[in-house]
Each structure stands twice: as C-alpha cells, then as structure tokens.
Structure 1
Amino acid sequence: MPDITLDVHEIPKPQRHPKIFSLFDGLAVGEAIILVNDHDPRHLHDEFEADRAGGYSWDYLVREKRDYQVRIGKTTATTPPRKLGNTAELTNASVDAADVAWKLTSPDRHLDSNLIRLAADGEIAAHAGGEVDVLVHVIAGSGQLGTESGDLEVVAGDLVWLPRRSQRAFRAGSDGLSYLTVHTHREPTLNIEPLALRDAQS
C-alpha cells in the first residue's frame, strides 16, 4: 500500500495529534504516513517516543522554513515492551510525607500504576477504595495495612490484594514504606484533594 499523505494545515490543532495516532494505529507493518506541516513536529515526536517507542520510524523528507514533511513508518505490529524505570532508584531518595514517586502515564494504557512512598511513621488515612481491585507490591520499608477486620503487617516483598470498595489505610514504620499499586485503568473524576494524596489512595 502506498504511503498515506496527511496535510494537517486545515485540521484544528486539538484534533491533529489524535488524527495522526488514529491513522498510525490503523497501519500495517511497513506502511507509513507522510506528515505535511509548516513547522517541525517535535512535540509529536516526543509523544511517539513516550507511547510507541520502538514501534515506529521517523524520517524527515523536507526540512525547510514553513515546510516540513516527515515519513512516520510502522515498524512493529504493536508497541514493543520497554523499560519504564527502576524501583530501587525511585525509592532511594528521601521523602517528607506522602509522595507519588512514579506513575504510568501513557494515554493508551489499560492499566493504572503508581509508586507511593510514605515517610517514616507517615500514613494515608482510612478510606474506601474505588470500583476496581488493586494489587499492591511492597517495594521497600515496612508498615501496617489497616482493614475493617484489623491491621496487617507488611514488609518489602509482600503482595497484597485490595478488593474493590474495601476499607484500607496505610501506616509506615520507622523505616518508611514504599509500594507499587496496579489496577485497571479508570478515567479521572473531579476531586479537590491534593494530587499526591489522591493518587496515593488508589
């Protein structure tokens, strides 16, 4: 199939990137989009690198003032697996209270994941979970998970399941507490709580 040429000059800016990604995702391996624009689409390249790293090619065909053409090719059927970070490095830095050290941010994700750190003796107050089950992996430190039926001692290496809507609270021990949460992606809802605390309660 010949390359698809997409001139974005007449496409409203908020619709450009969604249109490009929609076309790209519909390509077969080896096919490509020729993107025509009046400026260097560096931000688009950043998005491709963040969300589809290893699965695309990016070749400038024209780089002139107000005339840019880029061939964006599909090199793999799906986005390849990739390294996102290192939990040991993320938990080494000191923390004063509740901190979201890392979170999964890809807009096309089907999972949500956060790395939460609590300072020594810090806590996340008791609350009811949302409509998704949550898997918790304790990465470092120790503490207690408060539940309706009592407290559970947790240490590095523990895997904990939080059933949907269950009551939970986290209290760090004297060595702090760092844990990774994983659950099905859910769209954000309006919430006036600080971002770090809201994410930590996932």
Structure 2
Amino acid sequence: MCDCNVTETVIDLRHIMPRMRHGLIFSTFDQLDEGESFVLVNDHDPRPLLYQFGTNYPGAFDWDYIMKGPDLWRIRISREAA
C-alpha cells in the first residue's frame, strides 16, 4: 500500500556550511524510524561520511547511490533493523 502523501526529506549539502553538515545528517538519521530514509545531494562523493556511518551505526543503515557524479551525487540513506 502506498502512502502517496509521504515525501522524502532531501538535504542538499551544496547549500549548507561544511561545519554544519555532519551534525545535520546524523540528527536527521537519528529521527528516522526503521524503513524510513532521506536523500543527500552533493557535488562530490561523500565517501568519508559512509565510513562514519559504518562506525557509528554498524548494520543499522543502508547507503544507496541514486546518482554517481561526476558533478552531482545523490545518495539515499535508510534506517534498517539493527
């Protein structure tokens, strides 16, 4: 069954000061219920963030590249059952 009124949160990192990015991303993830997700938009591959998720939330997240550059990256981050 589709809840078509639900919209996915999109965080466009290109418009957020670098020092505020990770706090916003992890805060957004912490508010997700199991099965929920949000999308990051960036101008480069945020691979270090993937490693940080692996350290902070092992087995509790999914990282899915929707678009892989070269100028625009879109990643869906989902909360999985721990």
TM-score by length of structure 2 reads 0.88
Match for 1:56: what amino acid? F
Map of 1:38-77 to 2, 5 A cutoff? Answer: 38-76=43-81
CA contact under 8 A between 2:8 and 2:38: conserved in structure 1? yes
Preserved CA contact (<8 Å) 1:2 1:31: no
Within 5 Å, give how 1:7-86 maps onto structure 2. Answer: 7-76=12-81, 80=82
Matched, 1:5 2:10: yes
Corresponding residue SS for 1:27: coil
Give CA deviations for 1:109-155 in whole Å, capped at 9, x if unaligned: xxxxxxxxxxxxxxxxxxxxxxxxxxxxxxxxxxxxxxxxxxxxxxx
Aligned residues: 77
Deviation at 1:13, TM superposition (A): 0.5
Secondary structure of the corresponding residue to residue 35 of structure 1? strand
Deviation at 1:65, TM superposition (A): 1.0
Which structure exhibits the higher relative contact order, with contacts defined as CA atoms closer than 8 Å and separated by 6 or more residues? 2
For the residues of structure 1 that align with 2:71 and 2:22, how far apart are their CA atoms? Answer: 19
Q: CA RMSD in A?
A: 1.0
Conservation of the 8 A alpha-carbon contact between 2:45 and 2:69? no
| Structure 2: runs of 5 or more not aligned | 1-5
Q: Deviations over 1:8-67 (max 9, x none)?
A: 111110110110000010011111010000000101001000010100000000002120
More strand by share: 1
Identity of aligned residues (%): 36
The structure in which a higher percent of residues are helix is: 2
SS in 1 for 2:59: coil
**Distance in 2 between the 1:43 and 1:33 partners?**
18
Structure 1 stretches of 4+ with a deviation exceeding 6 A read none
Q: Distance in 2 between matches of 1:69 and 1:22?
A: 19
SS at match of 2:15: coil
TM-score (ref. length: structure 1): 0.37
What is the match of residue 182 of structure 1?
A: none
